[in-house]
A = this chain, B = another copy of it.
Amino acid sequence: MSQQNSKRPLTALQKHTKKKVTIRLKSEIEYKGKMSNVDSYMNLIMTDAEELHEGKVVANYGRVIVRGNNVLFIKLENEL
């Protein structure tokens, strides 16, 4: 396992700033885009984000701030 993977979850998330993520909310909706920034509560800013319902793009957002308590998971994408 890489050194990066053994960091604490919030540190690893912080390190991924300005990279691509897909977040899923408790309500099952997903947002895919660049994570401009994030804090320890998992509040996060996404830029150029797509909203997906069951895998289909339903909306586009230039810049959106998601309140952390709604987050189910954050998938870290490898692409920039």
> Which A positions have Cβ atoms within 8 angstroms of B?
1, 5-10, 12-13, 17-18, 25-27, 34, 36-39, 42-45, 47, 61-76, 78
Contacts and interface: CB of A to CB of B under 8 A. Distances in A.
A37 B9 CA distance: 6
Nearest to A29: B72
A31 B62 CA distance: 17
Given A12-B45, A66-B73, 16 more contacts: A1-B34, A1-B36, A5-B45, A5-B47, A6-B17, A6-B37, A9-B44, A9-B45, A12-B37, A26-B27, A26-B70, A42-B67, A65-B73, A67-B72, A69-B69, A70-B73
A68 B68 contact: no
